[in-house]
Amino acid sequence: MGDFARQATRIDDIQGRFDPWLLGAVLALVSFGVVMVGSAALYQDSNPFHYLTRHLMFLAAGGVLAWFAMRTELKSVERYNQLMLLACVVLLGLVFIPGLGVSVKGAHRWINLGVSNFQVVEAVKVLFIVWLASYLVRFRDEVNATWAAMLKPIGVVLALVVMLLAQPDFGSSALLLAITAGMLVLGGANVPKMFAPVLAILPLLAFVAIAEPYRARRLTSFMDPWADPFGSGYQLTNALMAAGRGEWLGVGLGGSIQKIYYLPEAHTDFILAVIAEELGFVGVCAVIAVFALLVGRALWLGLQCVEMRRYFSAYLAFGIALWIGLQSFVSMGVNLGLLPTKGLTLPLISSGGSSVLMTCLAMGLLLRVSYELDRAQRQVARLRGGPGDPAVATSPRVPGAPDRKASAQDAPVARPAAMAHGTSRLRQRIEPIFGRPS
């Protein structure tokens, strides 16, 4: 009994490590963002360092949020999933309260916190991903087997979308819908079953997109922005001129002309155009490569968590990866004229207090996923091989007995016998299912 207690104590004392590739990608994007915000915002205010100072202040606050997230057990985060869904509804409703909600150019997307305005949808993205990850854990089998379990998260996100469209915020609405669809597929939903709700939602989105004249102009102007270069095509034409002027290697850091009174929102929505002008095609490719590393590593961590049966961690990593990947793709597409203009920032690079704060929090959660995964792998290796066993060094990913302190849901356990005889049930949960009978 004493030996068992001592062994359990040694297992509990094992600590994890944060994924170095993930941490490196985050730090690289944040550092590069500071440089480019300083360059892009140089002529946006009478004080040339106004926006840079503001960006650094929000980054510092975001770093504190990320630090707390990195030190918080994910089972504690999961415990409050229902409150997080309630917080989504409350936050989206606060923007319509007189005196608290702030209207900018007719849009009600912000609340006044005294020291700064806060765009609530940025917090909703994080809170909703946490709730949906928990839902997929609790109804893992039902999501594939029954219509009700699959349609519930779709109904929830549609309710949030209705509130977002009332602000209005079409870009964030489409982003939330895409994240939900992606997480459902990765969570094991039957893909053919999803066609019906998707086919029903798409015409509604198309109607909403063209119902407002300004949205319709955006849809038509991005295909030929030069038809009205001083009106509906003004933003895109200047962004394209910036990208074209950069050519292969750019005009040099700080040398952009378009950011000086020509390119609107140069330090936020159109910061990639400034990067293209100052650092050229090579600079844009480098940014895309780092984002690909960040998103790819997050997806890889999610797969590793599935192998260890740490489903909440897996779906949380998948959700954050989808969010960052999709938002980055849209932001880049807008800057390069591939997509209609949307007010979405480039994560970790663009200036924008609310986006910076919540993206830093999401990165903290993602790093916590990597920490707990590495800790579980080390604990399993110790239980399997014992101290000094060579298998500990050669088999870092062998699932085994659960951690005594971990929750039943997150504990790493031995692989089922099906792994030895064919396709495992674990793999089926994260792969699209085509034509499988319910």
CA distance 198 to 93: 26
At 230 the pLDDT is 86
At 372 the pLDDT is 96
**∠ Cα 213 219 220 (to 5°):** 90
At 8 the pLDDT is 55
| 343 close to 44: Cβ distance less than 8 angstroms | no
Which residues on adjacent β-strands are paired with residue 177? Answer: none
Of 249, 243, 270, nearest in space to 331 by CA? 270
At 2 the pLDDT is 56
CA distances from 300 to 102, 256, 369 (A): 40, 37, 11
| Residue range 169-204, pLDDT digits in tens | 999 999 999 999 999 999 988 888 888 888 888 888
CA distance 236 to 211: 22
User: Which residues does the chain have with pLDDT short of 70?
Assistant: 1-9, 11-12, 386-438
pTM for this one?
Answer: 0.86
Burial 323-341 (b: 16+ CB within 10 A, else e): bbbbbbbbbbbbbbbebbb
At 222 the pLDDT is 81
CA distance 120 to 111: 7
At 191 the pLDDT is 84
Enumerate long-range contacts of 80-83, CB under 8 Å, 24 or more apart.
Answer: 81/130, 81/131, 81/133, 81/134, 81/135, 82/131
CA distances from 379 to 15, 47, 171, 408 (A): 9, 54, 43, 15
Longest dimension (CA), the chain: 81
| Residue range 283-309, pLDDT digits in tens | 999 999 999 999 999 999 999 999 999
CA distances from 387 to 6, 10, 95 (A): 12, 9, 56
Please name the residues in contact with 1: beta carbons below 8 A apart, sequence gap of 6 or more.
Answer: none
At 5 the pLDDT is 55
Which tokens in the block code for residue 1? Answer: 């009994």
- In the chain, where the domains are located: 22-430
